[in-house]
Structure 1
Amino acid sequence: MPPERLTDWSRPASPGGRPRVAIIGGGVAGLAAGCYAQMSGMDTLILEKHVLPGGYCTAWARKGYLFDYCVDWLSGTGESGDAAQVWRELGALDGKEIAHFEMFNRVMDETGRAVTFYNDPDRLERHLLELSPGDAAPIRRLCRYLRGFADAHPYPILTPPPLKSPREKLSTALATLPLLPLFYRTATTQMAEFAERFEDPLLRRALPNIILQDPVGFPVLPYLYGMARAHNGNAGFPEGGSLGLVRSVEERYTALGGQLACRARVDRILVEHDRAVGVQLKDGTRILADHVVSACDGNTTINGLLGGRYRSPRIDRLYRKMLHDSDNLFPAAVSTYFGIDGPVETDDPHSTTYLLRPEEGARLFGGLQHTMVVQLFNHYWEGFAPPGKSVVRCTYFSDYEAWKKLRTHDRREYWSTKRRVADFQRGFLDRLYPGTAERIEVTDIATPVTAHRYTGNHNGTIFAWKPFSPADDEVTKLINRDRMRLPGLAGFSMTGQWVGMGGLIRAATTGRFTAQFLCDEFGLPFRPSLSDGGGGRWHRARLGHLPQLDTQALRQLNSRSAGEAENSDSGGSHAT
């Protein structure tokens, strides 16, 4: 965005003009809020601190490879349902092919014994019974639950509860009433507890890893809900991956007249007489608006940009108590990418979780579990690698503080630790696919510290608050009771995962909710519209400029000489 256009926002709006809304953060939630506000007659400006929009939903280029950071599957890729409607309104999937997989994930133990979690409940039941006939009773119950979700209509998500009419509330209640027994049984039974009903040791350990890694504390419901959506073709992988999704929504936003400023770091929210009137950027630029929306990290918003001045018992419980209990936050992760010269010759599926021996798990620094996910990214989309080449990603849940302490106090050891993690994973891949290690052309690692530096997300968490945790009820009330506002502060609201829980569709939905609440405040009709898909067939060039970020950091990680790494300075990079 040209600087002179940013200057336009440094002056008060003309009386009687369109309401002006400044949005802090250009992730999926911020972009969605901007799109829906523009559709409904507002002028918006999104301020994003990074070099491109997307937040966690991003990718970056390394020597011709594209390393995707976010999407493993996307809810709402089908033709029907509220989630699909949201993506069609945002233009997120315009012109794109969707990759669908017959299985959600495979889990393999240390001996090479594996279980495949097919999305088709009939096929899954046959497979599990072949693996463990003695577990027939819990297997049939699991698959009966899965059939129930496969036959169910998704929960309506288009309108926030406070704005639903009595008729809409009744319609929602009638639609969900038949599902209540299924929801109750699967929402009140922890997956770890359900897994203990199985005699087979592999199944007991594998079930909590259906959704790639064990999020700990999740009930049965989200596992089966995701599998059912995938079975119905409503949870696939979109062409272009994470950055492709963001670029499409960005195109939709700018086509609607929205303005986006990158490299625009907000320093504080301007407040006059307990009303937000704009923001001030790090460089001193003041942006004035009728309403300010924060679509960035919740703790940064409340305790940083607003200086902790606007609180309530609920906000205090969330940000003074629950925020510091790791059980309430979705974990952070370490993601290592390998760009490989040539194909990976295998019949393995797109995703496998490996259950590691303790001595192997100990080599994954900061690891929270002795597991590692290996994803063959060419199965998702061929555009992630140059022709004839491949991308493999290895991921594991990891502790933020361990990496933060290392990077803060001993930068050389930080780099050495990353190298050791990558060396272990390189060797692991070479055992899986002999000859792979010598064909690796580029290696890149994003740690929890990387995630925090580039997104601002507290402790590098992937999805902010953990669903089904004690924080869940409190966060739900931020929408249902507080309308995504803070007590005592007018002209301000929050959106994104810190008020709507995790997942990209939830982030997009909170953006929609934000616009609906704004329309209610400004007396405007909410006017969502479907994208006309005018861009035609999607192609890789529409990813636009791909950030290379710090190539010096890349050289450090890929250097085979520890001395060379120690004698280099580690600059800012997505690999740092």
Structure 2
Amino acid sequence: MGVRDGGPHWEARPPGGRPRVIIIGAGMSGLAAGCYAQMSGLESRIFEKHVLPGGCCTAWARQGYLFDYCIDWLIGTAPGTGANEVWRELGALDGKRITLFDQFNRVVTEDGRSVTFYNDPDRLQKHLLELSPGDARLIRAFCRDLRRFAELDPHWELKPPPLKSPAEKVRTLLAILPAFRLYWRTAATPMRRFADRFEDPLLRRAFPNVFLQELTGFPLLPFLFTMSCASNGNAGFPEGGSLGLARSVEERYTGLGGHIGYRARVERILVEGGRAVGVRLRDGQEHFADHVIAACDGPTVLDRLLEGRWSSPRTERLYKELLDRPDNLYPAVVSAFVGIDGPLPAGEPHSTTYLLGPERGAALPGSLQHSLVVQRRSDYADGFAPAGKSVLHCTYFTDHRSWQELRKADRRAYRERKQEVVDFLRGFLAERHPGIEERIELVDVATPATTERYTGNTYGSILAWKAFSEADDVSTALVDRDRMRLPGLSGFSMAGQWTGMGGLIRAATSGRYAVQFLCDELGREFRAWPSEGAGPWHPGKLGLLPRLEQRGDARKATVAE
């Protein structure tokens, strides 16, 4: 690929040369695009501003603990499924053990009543009937639908609809038709409306929190789909966790001949004659290619990298109209890791949502839903805590704006607010497990401002556009009709969660789609095959991890600015 330090200049590749692709961002979509580009005979290079791959699919270390930031469950861990085929092509699960849990989540109310959402439909039905016999009809209906979802093939689109042949479209339709009424009915039934039909107030409050906290506007369908995946071993937790997943795809990419430049922040996408021809980095270097794929934050791409000069009716609606409307983005999150000397109390599930109530919830800084999720991360995989120690991951939905504005206006007040989170968690955990407070070695708090600073995600939103929102149809059309392109700008496409909705498997598939569209444009065959693996996974493959700046007593707050 061409590189120079002067002004924009692009030369066509020589006859017979491999098409050159520059990819902005080494998150999951960028890594996936790079892998598929290499497999399809293109010459690619990724530029990443951070020192690690993965974007939000990441981890960091402190005092021997590994703080795994992203994955709660990973769709595609069961062999023979379409989503698993994507991960096999990317080498994401090579040599890894998968942890599967009996429960999806537990929800506990202020008065101590609890619901455990077991993955097995029969066990779940028995448990719910014991809690609320008066809700038998609704309970049996939900579990009956869960069984039906578990019997279905978890279909995953490996090719974007515009590239499907008529025969492929017919096969897709035939695969969906037997369960069409089930999909339609559950997609048309909001979870909140369904939950409100329960007589038992515990079930009314618990059901919307199956996905840890309530995702407003979500219908029944994604709950049933994901819980059925968990029931079938298709929503497990991979060894190595979030950063391990990213490192495995990075290894696959470099093994295919790809190159990643870290600490390489792209400042501009270079355009000549209505064509993207390369990128300019912050250090002034310019790199040239036949095609540029922006696999990073959408508003940043349009407003800064393209200087607001190109857009489309759909991107205008997404980024100018829907971006600041409520419920179009997944909420931002406060994420706190608690390192504990010794084991965790026995008999607890791996994940619990505690409903705090208005008064207690108001004491948790910036809490949107007055609830707190506590996950026993050292139960998810080995290596997240030193020998003889444990780690919890505590999260809750919050607003981005208050954290970001406070950090900008008063750094000291910002740190004090984070300390309030630490104090709340220490007290909360001590109430539930007397004696645990003395064993807490550190608490590390990351806010939406932290997420935005390290990943560039607008408003600190980890998953970007929310499914079943106003943005869903627009984002889908950006892929299915616009082919991830902008009118008037050739040689350029967008990928990732700001283009094709949130979730790791969606991000990876988005990178796949971007290269499929590119190969179609170039008249080249799109190629993909499973990775052959590189031996068993081991923690050494995580490489060097950042240790974010620490301020104050380690037994108080360790602050990721």
Shorter-chain TM-score range? over 0.9
Q: Does 1:128 align with 2:124?
A: no
Match of 2:403 in 1: 403
In 1: Cα distance, 2:416 partner to 2:502 partner: 32
In 1: Cα distance, 2:455 partner to 2:493 partner: 19
Q: Mind listing any 5+ residue stretches in structure 1 that lack a counterpart?
A: 566-572
In structure 2, the CA distance between the partners of 1:42 and 1:505, relative to structure 1 (3 Å rule), is same
User: 3-state SS of the aligned residue for 1:251?
Assistant: helix
In structure 2, the CA distance between the partners of 1:338 and 1:456, relative to structure 1 (3 Å rule), is same
Q: Does 1:346 align with 2:331?
A: no
Match of 1:575 in 2: 560
After superposition, residues 299-314 of structure 1 pair within 5 angstroms as 299-314=299-314
Match of 1:517 in 2: 517
In 2: Cα distance, 1:456 partner to 1:269 partner: 17
Residue 156 of structure 1: how far off its partner (Å): 3.0
After superposition, residues 85-484 of structure 1 pair within 5 angstroms as 85-484=85-484
Residue 346 of structure 1: how far off its partner (Å): 2.2
User: 3-state SS of the aligned residue for 1:214?
Assistant: coil
Contact kept in structure 1, 2:442 and 2:555, CA below 8 Å? no
In 1: Cα distance, 2:553 partner to 2:472 partner: 39
Residue 213 of structure 1: how far off its partner (Å): 0.8
In structure 2, the CA distance between the partners of 1:523 and 1:557, relative to structure 1 (3 Å rule), is farther
Residue 5 of structure 1: how far off its partner (Å): 10
Match of 2:79 in 1: 79
User: 3-state SS of the aligned residue for 2:383?
Assistant: helix
Residue 436 of structure 1: how far off its partner (Å): 1.4
In structure 2, the CA distance between the partners of 1:526 and 1:346, relative to structure 1 (3 Å rule), is same
Match of 1:547 in 2: 546
TM-score, normalising length from structure 2? 0.97
Match of 1:498 in 2: 498
Contact kept in structure 2, 1:13 and 1:20, CA below 8 Å? no
In 1: Cα distance, 2:539 partner to 2:238 partner: 12
Residue 155 of structure 1: how far off its partner (Å): 2.2
Match of 1:556 in 2: 552
User: 3-state SS of the aligned residue for 2:323?
Assistant: helix
Identity of aligned residues (%): 62
In structure 2, the CA distance between the partners of 1:142 and 1:288, relative to structure 1 (3 Å rule), is same
Contact kept in structure 1, 2:2 and 2:287, CA below 8 Å? no
Amino acid at match of 1:375: Q
User: 3-state SS of the aligned residue for 2:77?
Assistant: coil
User: 3-state SS of the aligned residue for 1:512?
Assistant: helix
Amino acid at match of 2:269: I
User: 3-state SS of the aligned residue for 2:520?
Assistant: helix
User: 3-state SS of the aligned residue for 1:556?
Assistant: coil
In 1: Cα distance, 2:3 partner to 2:214 partner: 45
Amino acid at match of 2:270: L
Contact kept in structure 2, 1:328 and 1:470, CA below 8 Å? yes
In 1: Cα distance, 2:127 partner to 2:12 partner: 64
Residue 12 of structure 1: how far off its partner (Å): 4.6
Cα deviation digits, residues 339-365 of structure 1 (max 9, x gap): 111111221000000000222211221
User: 3-state SS of the aligned residue for 1:383?
Assistant: coil
Contact kept in structure 2, 1:443 and 1:557, CA below 8 Å? no
Contact kept in structure 2, 1:10 and 1:285, CA below 8 Å? no
In 2: Cα distance, 1:546 partner to 1:192 partner: 41
In 2: Cα distance, 1:233 partner to 1:30 partner: 27
In 1: Cα distance, 2:197 partner to 2:553 partner: 44
State the aligned residue count.
558
Contact kept in structure 1, 2:10 and 2:277, CA below 8 Å? no
Match of 1:569 in 2: none
Contact kept in structure 2, 1:407 and 1:414, CA below 8 Å? yes
Match of 1:568 in 2: none
Stretch deviating more after TM superposition (57-66 or 356-365): 356-365
User: 3-state SS of the aligned residue for 1:526?
Assistant: coil
Residue 522 of structure 1: how far off its partner (Å): 1.5
Residue 80 of structure 1: how far off its partner (Å): 1.1
Q: Does 1:538 align with 2:533?
A: no
Amino acid at match of 1:248: S
In 1: Cα distance, 2:380 partner to 2:535 partner: 21
**Over the residues paired in the alignment, what is the CA RMSD in angstroms?**
1.7
In 2: Cα distance, 1:557 partner to 1:190 partner: 46
In structure 2, the CA distance between the partners of 1:10 and 1:96, relative to structure 1 (3 Å rule), is farther
User: 3-state SS of the aligned residue for 1:384?
Assistant: coil
Residue 137 of structure 1: how far off its partner (Å): 1.0
In 1: Cα distance, 2:350 partner to 2:89 partner: 29
Contact kept in structure 2, 1:156 and 1:172, CA below 8 Å? no
In 2: Cα distance, 1:130 partner to 1:310 partner: 59
In 2: Cα distance, 1:574 partner to 1:256 partner: 38
Cα deviation digits, residues 436-494 of structure 1 (max 9, x gap): 11111121111001111111111011210110001100000011100000111000000
In 2: Cα distance, 1:12 partner to 1:260 partner: 22
User: 3-state SS of the aligned residue for 1:185?
Assistant: helix
In 2: Cα distance, 1:82 partner to 1:279 partner: 34
In structure 2, the CA distance between the partners of 1:111 and 1:525, relative to structure 1 (3 Å rule), is same
Stretch deviating more after TM superposition (336-345 or 472-481): 336-345
Contact kept in structure 2, 1:450 and 1:574, CA below 8 Å? no
In structure 2, the CA distance between the partners of 1:20 and 1:440, relative to structure 1 (3 Å rule), is same
In 1: Cα distance, 2:479 partner to 2:501 partner: 11
Match of 1:488 in 2: 488
Amino acid at match of 1:540: P
Amino acid at match of 1:311: S
Residue 13 of structure 1: how far off its partner (Å): 6.3
Stretch deviating more after TM superposition (148-157 or 405-414): 148-157
Residue 557 of structure 1: how far off its partner (Å): 6.5
Residue 193 of structure 1: how far off its partner (Å): 0.3
In structure 2, the CA distance between the partners of 1:216 and 1:244, relative to structure 1 (3 Å rule), is same
User: 3-state SS of the aligned residue for 1:390?
Assistant: strand
In structure 2, the CA distance between the partners of 1:432 and 1:263, relative to structure 1 (3 Å rule), is same
Amino acid at match of 2:117: F
Amino acid at match of 2:560: A
Q: Mind listing any 5+ residue stretches in structure 2 that lack a counterpart?
A: none
In structure 2, the CA distance between the partners of 1:574 and 1:169, relative to structure 1 (3 Å rule), is farther
In 2: Cα distance, 1:418 partner to 1:6 partner: 44
Residue 7 of structure 1: how far off its partner (Å): 6.7
In 2: Cα distance, 1:324 partner to 1:28 partner: 25
Match of 1:26 in 2: 26
Contact kept in structure 2, 1:91 and 1:530, CA below 8 Å? yes
In 2: Cα distance, 1:558 partner to 1:326 partner: 37
Contact kept in structure 2, 1:82 and 1:154, CA below 8 Å? yes
In structure 2, the CA distance between the partners of 1:187 and 1:265, relative to structure 1 (3 Å rule), is same
In structure 2, the CA distance between the partners of 1:557 and 1:474, relative to structure 1 (3 Å rule), is farther
User: 3-state SS of the aligned residue for 1:280?
Assistant: strand
Contact kept in structure 2, 1:210 and 1:223, CA below 8 Å? yes
User: 3-state SS of the aligned residue for 1:33?
Assistant: helix
